[in-house]
Amino acid sequence: MRAMAMVPTYNEALNIESLLREILQQGPDIGAVVVDDNSPDGTAGIVERLRQEDARVHLILRQKERGRGTAGIVGFQYAVSQGVDFGIEMDADFFHQPSYIS
């Protein structure tokens, strides 16, 4: 069974690396898609670096659209297109704990 955490981000440069590393540690079948709305703090660049390290990290970088709601729709549609069994929304600020994914 494969699960994908869907993380919408806007200016989460301080949180995103530690969150993604913790998500990936939960198991080999757990990945993440980050939907970033071109955050001025460079969040997407951090995600891109991690993506090159680990193929379980996916990045959708939106240049024009903004908003957590539409980011979530795009992110879950992506998770479905990847054929995962579970899509799980997670905020980047650790409000949702990766340890609960399993």
Kindly list the residues in this chain that would bind ligand GDP in the complex (CB under 6 A).
8-10, 12, 35-37, 66-68, 71, 91-93, 95
The site partner of 33 among ligand GDP, Mg ion, none (C-beta below 5 to 8 Å per kind) is none
Q: How far apart are CA 14 and CA 93, in angstroms?
A: 9
For the CB of residue 10, give the shortest distance to ligand GDP in the complex, in Å. Answer: 4
How is residue 99 annotated by DSSP? G
How is residue 9 annotated by DSSP? E
Closer CB to Mg ion, 95 or 100, in the complex = 95
For the CB of residue 19, give the shortest distance to ligand GDP in the complex, in Å. Answer: 9
No. of helices (H) and no. of strands (E), the chain: 3, 4
